[in-house]
Amino acid sequence: MTPDAHTLDGLYDLVSAAILRAESAEARREDSRAAEAYFEVSCLEEEIADELPATNPEGAIARRGVVRAALSAQQYDRAFDLAERYLSDSSAPEDLRAALSGLRDEARRAMDEALRLVIEVVPQATFTFHEAA
């Protein structure tokens, strides 16, 4: 059976497989494979979120899942942007908003930390100029 990625059932089949792949790779400390699988999880959860409203419990699961998986994939910009997008939906229930705010803050901290770790390259002259006598 090939899952139909255009149906909710098909997306559920695919996301279940991707989650198990991601968790297994993470446990084996295969970082790049885990990040790749979590990114796939995040993209599939986003498609599920597009199918279900925020007021539906499974729609809420998908929205949290999009952001959580993006964080696990170290896609902090994606996590932040999508958390903001889902928070801007006025129909989102309070418990979903609280969870998304927490995940957005986590993404923000990770983005700040990543910026802090960027090595600052300071150009340094290897010769000096002397003012004309």
Partner 1 sequence: MKLDLRTLRERHPRLLPETAAILAVNAAVALERRHEPDVEMTAHAFGTEGAATVSWERAAEGAPLMLDANVVTELGAEALALTLVHETRGWVARRRLQRGEFADWLMTAPDGKVVALEVSGTDAGDHEARMRQKLLQVAKCVAGKTLAACVVSFLQPSIAAKEVLTAFL
- Binding stretches for partner 1 (CB under 8 A): 1, 3, 9, 12-17, 19-21, 23-24, 27-28, 41, 57-58, 60-61, 64-65, 68-69, 95
Pick 6 or 116: Cβ nearer partner 1 = 6
- Rounded distance between C-alpha atoms, residue 99 and residue 83, angstroms: 10
**Cβ 95 to partner 1, closest distance in Å?**
8
Q: How far is the CB of 70 from partner 1 (least distance, A)?
A: 11
Nearest to 46 by CA among 34, 63, 60, 22: 63
Compute the least distance from the CB of residue 53 to partner 1, in Å: 14
- For partner 1, the closer of residues 6 and 125 by Cβ is 6
Residue 91's closest CA among 49, 47, 44? 49
Q: Which of left, alpha, beta for 125 (phi over 0: left; psi -120 to 50: alpha)? A: beta
